């Protein structure tokens, strides 16, 4: 169970020190510490300053080594740690009674002393000292007393949809440590890929670690994409994270999101035909594990190897988005439901998850699951990760379960951070840095006793639309820094302007660690051209499933992005200046419709085409207005890249009016998307 308000479990004096120092006095630290007291005087930290950690204290030596590592990256190298030294020095010392993960940092004439009762606190004191000393100049005398508000301050990395190299995962660990984030939830398997070597079942990676990316009909194939982490690589990454205060929690999805496993070992499913290869679609797939004892033996074998690699107290079992159609249609599954005396398929999922959860408990581990696990009943010690808003956490806490707040959309970092031209593809509705910083970790629906079940907060990076590591870094930071602050700093006193003022130097400190973070929070919006708009500058007609999608062409190099609603590809240009316009041009591209959206597929409707390949239509006065331009798609049919279409604009009396732009089609594939639109004078 999480302990909240832990910044106030220091010495009693801290109760009087909970407020942050005045902005004029406080250094630019992130997360904001619980208390800073700046005093007169300066300590000159140099390369000759001894770094002291007891030889028999592994945690102190690790904190000293990490400080030396970060300072070297900042261009201020320190000496190797020594067990003792006379005179001013940087010292790491054990002090019983300080809060879990908390620390005291004192800078005075004797140097800098980090005190803590546990390894994590020593490390976080080192992080704070690195932030203070990362730029040249003497350090002001000060005392910092600090501890986190929540014990779970996490990031989720989806390596199943798009694979990241071990080097990138280590970079992410460095960036997390620099912000006192302490939990890396690693999403290693899903419908689109299996990324962890399981030696007893080699086909999991032999077959399901690679896939061919989706392309529009007729487009040239793209090179296969994928990869997996060998067991030695995972051990190395886990050790690397542990040395930086981060626990890695692996996620092995069940009973849904199982297509990659069933593709490798078809007996795990229910005999429903599978697609060729591992699918490159996104969305919710219908393939579930069956409930046979042999399948449970498989899952237990997998988890045995997973637990041998990850010492984490928690194993994430997924449990989300398990559509039950295949279970409903499968005679063996229905027989299992009757034999167990269960009410329905939801209850079967509860039994399924409880059986695996109890297996983990027998090995000293706790299961975590997405909030759907509450629908069928789970073991009392199961942790609920609430992603469908905060309601799952509220329900879990009221039922006595610990919970982690990971709420969509605010904490889903596959959303764009802004509307600027540099934003990479992602979910269409922006989630800004300010949105994340404002997220409330204290749901009003909970009593104080129930609040104690909230373990903390986590930001999730799903990677369906995050193809490269550079984009992953951009999507994660600086929003993950906001997660760090709201999970660490005392409740109350939020000040977004102050956070931004501390964030800028923090990002500068992290640049030598390999981070190129998004500048969305600081960038000015680009000016609008008077006679042109990009798709990102247009409105969606209906806003059903709004995505910023990347073209599938070319194989190498930059690709176009399209902001589109996949349920209704339709764009609105508000107040378009039609006075004097004689022609209109559209830049369009075709992309694959690779989305598993279930019954929503039936909602997609198009006007019938007038030509074999269809046409874009432009209407004045909204989507029910008069058609003023038709742009046949025949010139774009065989072009996998962008095509410029042109047409005359029918005369209209309106000087400014809303333009509705859409296309006709006989079906969803290929999906046409608008890149840009421009008006040209007569």
Taking a C-beta distance cutoff of 8 angstroms, is the pair 244, 315 a contact? no
What is the 3-class SS of 607-669, one letter each residue?
Answer: CCCCCCCCEEEEEECCCCCEEEEEEECHHHCCCCCCEEEEEECCCCCCCEEEEEEEECCCCCC
The burial of 235, by beta-carbon neighbours within 10 Å (0-12 exposed, 13-18 middle, 19 or more buried), is given as middle
Tokens 């070319």 sit at which residue? 554
CA–CA gap between residue 70 and residue 174 (Å, rounded): 9
Among residues 285, 246, 283, the alpha carbon closest in space to that of 262 is found at: 285
CA–CA gap between residue 254 and residue 355 (Å, rounded): 12
Task: Kindly name the residue from 187, 257, 415, 561 that is annotated as catalytic.
Answer: 257
CA–CA gap between residue 158 and residue 187 (Å, rounded): 5
Cβ neighbours for 609, distance < 8 A, ≥ 6 positions apart: 615, 664, 665, 666
Tokens 């390999």 sit at which residue? 514
Taking a C-beta distance cutoff of 8 angstroms, is the pair 606, 619 a contact? no
Radius of gyration of the chain (CA): 28
Cα distances from 283 to residues 274, 328, 590, in angstroms, run: 16, 20, 20
Task: Kindly name the residue from 305, 321, 375, 381 that is annotated as catalytic.
Answer: 321
Taking a C-beta distance cutoff of 8 angstroms, is the pair 514, 469 a contact? no
Taking a C-beta distance cutoff of 8 angstroms, is the pair 500, 520 a contact? no
Q: Which sign, positive or negative, has the C-alpha torsion 281, 287, 288, 289? A: negative
Instruction: Report helix, strand or coil for 142.
Output: strand
Helix (H) or strand (E) run with residue 679 in it: strand 671-681
Taking a C-beta distance cutoff of 8 angstroms, is the pair 63, 122 a contact? yes
Backbone φ/ψ region at 678: left (φ over 0), alpha (ψ -120 to 50), beta: beta
The burial of 616, by beta-carbon neighbours within 10 Å (0-12 exposed, 13-18 middle, 19 or more buried), is given as buried
Residue-wise over 298-318: b if at least 16 C-beta within 10 A, else e?
A: bbeebbebbbebbebebbbbb
Task: Kindly name the residue from 145, 190, 548, 552 that is annotated as catalytic.
Answer: 190
Catalytic (active site) residue 363 = no
Catalytic (active site) residue 401 = no
User: What do you get for the CA distance between the two ends of the chain, in Å?
Assistant: 70
Catalytic (active site) residue 257 = yes
- The two tokens of residue 384 are 């609920």
Cα distances from 486 to residues 20, 94, 453, in angstroms, run: 14, 27, 17
Cα 90–Cα 95–Cα 96 angle in degrees, nearest 5: 165
Among residues 415, 501, 503, 455, the alpha carbon closest in space to that of 178 is found at: 503
Among residues 252, 254, 371, 355, the alpha carbon closest in space to that of 312 is found at: 252
Write 550-553 long-range contacts (CB < 8 A, 24+): 550/425, 550/465, 550/467, 550/591, 551/589, 551/591, 551/641, 551/642, 552/213, 552/214, 552/215, 552/216, 552/219, 552/222, 552/591, 552/592, 552/640, 553/215, 553/219, 553/220, 553/589, 553/640, 553/641
Catalytic residue annotation: 190, 257, 321
């Amino acid at each position: 169970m999480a302990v909240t308000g832990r910044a106030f479990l220091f010495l009693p004096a801290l109760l009087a020190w909970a407020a942050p120092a005045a902005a004029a006095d406080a250094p630019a630290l992130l997360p904001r510490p619980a208390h800073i007291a700046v005093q007169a005087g300066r300590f000159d930290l140099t390369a000759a300053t001894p770094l002291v950690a007891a030889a028999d204290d592994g945690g102190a030596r690790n904190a000293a080594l990490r400080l030396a590592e970060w300072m070297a990256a900042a261009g201020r190298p320190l000496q190797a740690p020594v067990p003792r030294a006379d005179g001013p020095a940087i010292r790491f010392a054990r002090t019983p009674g300080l809060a879990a993960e908390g620390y005291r940092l004192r800078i005075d004439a004797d140097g800098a002393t980090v005190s803590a009762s546990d390894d994590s606190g020593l490390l976080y004191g080192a992080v704070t000292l690195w932030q203070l000393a990362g730029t040249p100049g003497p350090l002001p005398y000060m005392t910092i007393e600090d501890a986190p508000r929540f014990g779970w301050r996490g990031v989720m990395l989806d390596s199943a949809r798009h694979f990241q190299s071990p080097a990138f995962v280590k970079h992410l660990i460095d960036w997390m440590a620099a912000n006192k984030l302490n939990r890396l939830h690693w999403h290693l398997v899903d419908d689109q890929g299996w990324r962890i070597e399981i030696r007893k079942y080699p086909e999991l990676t032999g077959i399901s670690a690679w896939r061919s990316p989706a392309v529009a009909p007729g487009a040239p194939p793209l090179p296969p994409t994928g990869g997996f982490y060998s067991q030695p690589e995972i051990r190395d990454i886990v050790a690397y994270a542990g040395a930086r205060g981060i626990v890695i929690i692996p996620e092995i999805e069940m009973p849904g999101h199982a297509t990659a496993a069933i593709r490798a070992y078809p007996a795990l499913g229910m005999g429903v035909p599978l697609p060729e290869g591992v699918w490159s679609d996104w969305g919710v797939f219908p393939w579930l594990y069956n409930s046979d004892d042999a399948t449970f033996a498989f899952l237990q074998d997998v988890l045995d190897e997973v637990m041998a690699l990850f010492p984490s107290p928690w194993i994430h079992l997924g449990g989300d988005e398990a559509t039950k159609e295949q279970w409903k249609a499968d005679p063996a599954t229905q027989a299992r439901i009757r034999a167990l005396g269960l009410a329905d398929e939801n209850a079967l999922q509860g039994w399924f998850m409880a059986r695996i959860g109890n297996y983990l408990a027998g090995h000293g581990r706790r299961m975590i699951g997405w909030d759907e696990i509450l629908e069928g009943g789970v073991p009392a010690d199961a942790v609920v990760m609430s992603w469908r808003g905060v309601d799952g956490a509220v329900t879990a806490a009221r039922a006595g379960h610990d919970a982690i707040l990971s709420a969509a959309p605010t904490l889903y970092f596959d959303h764009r951070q802004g509307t600027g031209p540099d934003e990479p593809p992602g979910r269409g509705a922006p989630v800004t840095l300010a949105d994340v910083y404002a997220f409330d970790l204290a749901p009003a629906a909970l009593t104080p006793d129930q609040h104690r079940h909230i373990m903390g907060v986590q930001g999730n990076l799903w990677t369906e639309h995050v193809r490269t590591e550079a984009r992953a870094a951009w999507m994660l930071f600086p929003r993950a820094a906001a997660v760090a602050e709201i999970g660490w700093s005392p409740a109350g006193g939020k000040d977004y302007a102050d956070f931004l003022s501390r964030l800028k130097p923090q990002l500068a400190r992290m640049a030598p660690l390999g981070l190129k973070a998004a500048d969305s929070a600081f960038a000015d919006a680009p000016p609008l051209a008077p006679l042109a708009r990009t798709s990102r500058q247009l409105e969606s007609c209906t806003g059903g499933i709004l995505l910023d999608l990347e073209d599938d062409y070319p194989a190498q190099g930059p690709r176009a992005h399209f902001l589109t609603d996949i349920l209704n590809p339709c764009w609105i240009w508000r107040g378009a200046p039609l006075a004097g316009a004689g022609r209109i041009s559209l830049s369009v591209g075709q992309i694959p419709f690779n989305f598993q959206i279930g019954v929503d597929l039936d909602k997609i409707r198009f006007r019938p085409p007038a030509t074999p390949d269809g046409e874009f239509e432009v209407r004045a006065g909204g989507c029910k207005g008069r058609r003023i331009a038709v742009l046949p798609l025949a010139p774009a049919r065989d072009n996998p890249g962008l095509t410029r279409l042109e047409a005359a604009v029918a005369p209209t009396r309106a000087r400014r009016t809303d333009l509705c732009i859409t296309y006709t089609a006989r079906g969803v594939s290929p999906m046409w998307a608008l890149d840009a639109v421009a008006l040209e004078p007569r």
